Amino acid sequence: MNKQELEKIKQKALEDHIPIIMDDTLEVVAKILQEVKPSRILEIGTAVGYSAICFSEYLQPNGRIDTIERDEERARQARKNIKKVEVEDKIRIYEGDAVEILPTLQESYDVVFIDAAKGKYPFFLSQAIRMSHKGTVIIADNVLYKGYVMGDYNKHKQRTAVRNLREYIAETTNNEYLETEILEVGDGLAISKKK
């Protein structure tokens, strides 16, 4: 992969205020990917493709990432970026709302990365579990949402997001088939392994 191009993609995304994966979060996810050695990764929330491109380095030969983005302009940019770093044979972009696209997917994934609308996390989780197998790791970014989730904060305009993130944490923690860890890395990272 062309690291110089990747760095340019990252800088442009930061300039454009696109919420790409934070460096410390990426480090943690990269470690998990090195352990799992995935062939199939599902990502919900492509943005401009930065995280998918980073993850593609850890795919097994012939592995593939399916990633979903509902914003047309971002999906277009992601396609361009993926071409630039020459990983277009490893990443498939689904353009549209993940709420509609996920139920149409009938695959089994080794890793799922949830990084989209916070209010939909419980639904994304149910879909991720449906497409999991023993050993699948489901990772969700931004679960602590700037500290709102753990605080007694519920009067904000983002309260629906906060309520759904709390539900996500409760469901992953209480689900007897999942082993879950919540890390304070970045904006909060939930890591759930299917038993």
Nearer to ligand SAH, 36 or 101 (CB): 101
Instruction: Give the integer Cα–Cα distance in Å for 136 and 194.
Output: 5
Enclosing H/E stretch for 25: helix 23-36
User: Smallest distance, Å, CB 104 to ligand SAH?
Assistant: 13
Pick the stretch among 84-92, 136-144, 149-157, 161-169 that binds Mg ion (CB under 5 A): 136-144
| Residues 78 and 93: beta-carbon distance below 8 Å | yes
Instruction: Give the integer Cα–Cα distance in Å for 17 and 14.
Output: 5
Enclosing H/E stretch for 73: helix 72-84
Q: 33, 22, 16, 57: which is closest to 141 by C-alpha?
A: 22
Q: Which of 112, 116, 128, 131 binds ligand SAH (CB under 6 A)?
A: 116
Q: Which of 50, 55, 148, 168 binds ligand SAH (CB under 6 A)?
A: 50
Pick the stretch among 1-9, 64-72, 157-165, 173-181 that binds ligand SAH (CB under 6 A): 64-72
User: Smallest distance, Å, CB 42 to ligand SAH?
Assistant: 12
